[in-house]
């Protein structure tokens, strides 16, 4: 049994999960803040 295959799989799952979460959170935040800025009362 090649132990490195399990090590690489564990790191790949972790980086894919956290990377995907960062991308989702960052995109959602930027979209919401941009929309809030567009709707800002000009007065």
Binding site for another protein (CB under 8 A): 1, 3-4, 6-7, 9-11, 13-14, 17-18, 21-22, 25-26, 28-29, 32-33, 35-36, 39-41
CB of 39 to another protein, least distance (A): 4
3-state SS record for the chain: CCHHHHHHHHHHHHHHHHHHHHHHHHHHHHHHHHHHHHCCCCC
φ, ψ of residue 39 to 5 degrees: the values are -90, 5
CB of 11 to another protein, least distance (A): 6
CB of 26 to another protein, least distance (A): 6
């Amino acid at each position: 049994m090649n132990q490195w295959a399990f090590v690489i799989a564990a790191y790949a799952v972790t980086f894919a999960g956290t990377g995907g979460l960062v991308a989702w959170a960052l995109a959602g935040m930027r979209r919401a803040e941009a929309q809030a800025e567009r709707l800002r009362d000009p007065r």
